[in-house]
Structure 1
């Protein structure tokens, strides 16, 4: 992939999520944009044979923690927790967010074997982006919550419009 395309995808992702890496040399956000088989095997000194899947695990846990604290403070029921978690963090909702915000347009795929952004790939993308923010921000829950809000994954669940659809 050319440097210009690399920069464009990365810059678009930064605008969409409203977060600009504090440690750009670590390339966490670039790693988050990779799907398995993208052709990138080493990013920031880390092996990424599985694309963004490892970061997606980190992001999934960070998002659950981000909504668990407010749920607990509200003294809400276990049923309410399960409903909130499923509504906000289901693959279907995360994929919807990835498509509606335009984040899927930032995904890096193998140009020889392009893939469609399936529900699972799009959901993994959002999870991986949140994982990248978590690591880049030195595990700042505030940074995670801010990006979740920007993407529409806050407690109100409203999705932000794709800023590039307005161009």
Structure 2
């Protein structure tokens, strides 16, 4: 290379490396080695963060815990003795029967009953329809006759007038919302459905056990 073929030396780079210029001795100032040290060319502009940049926000899920059950059902033992005698069934899981006797939101066992006994009543309504429909089939009824029997026996008006429905009302077996002092006919019917639903769940859907309960409450005759 010819002597006059000079190199274009960037003074900033030379200074950052400890030289006053390439081809010259480094300055007497010693630089400590840093493995994380990097060279940044001052002539290169760094991209600035956008003015409207926002910090990342991490949202944590809100865990809702059901309220604690302050006290148990005040008349559960009496209610159990009476109801089991009527429906000819002994509960293995008493929590299911207790669930059937709460018309207001409640914690029973490990379950939070946001609608009281209404969810269990849905099960009971289906179980009632199945048992009555099966009975209609056994009697050789036509479809029209069976539908008429179902509407007559499984309607809320009929369920509310059953002796069991009246008894659980008179004996205050069903716990109501604060401020309520009496059950409506609809609430009586719902309680009967919930009790049948409790039998269905407790017996693992045993058709014979559910039918005995349906006969016991008076919806069907033996």
- For 1:137 and 1:33, how far apart are their aligned partners in 2? 18
> By how many angstroms is 1:101 displaced?
5.4
Gaps of 5+ in 2: 1-70
| TM-score computed with the length of structure 2 as normaliser | 0.61
Gaps of 5+ in 1: 157-167
Radius of gyration: which is bigger?
A: 2
Aligned to 1:162: none
1:78 paired with 2:143, answer yes
Higher relative contact order (CA 8 A, sep 6+): 1
Deviation readout 1:102-131 (Å, 9 max, x if unpaired): 132321224x42242211101100000000
- For 2:166 and 2:214, how far apart are their aligned partners in 1? 12
- For 1:81 and 1:149, how far apart are their aligned partners in 2? 17
1:109 paired with 2:109, answer no
Relative to 1, partners in 2 of residues 1:113 and 1:18: Cα closer, same or farther, differing over 3 Å? farther
Relative to 1, partners in 2 of residues 1:8 and 1:99: Cα closer, same or farther, differing over 3 Å? closer
- For 2:126 and 2:202, how far apart are their aligned partners in 1? 15
1:67 paired with 2:137, answer no
Aligned-CA RMSD value: 2.1
Deviation readout 1:30-88 (Å, 9 max, x if unpaired): 10011125xxx221211112110000000000011111112223331122111110111
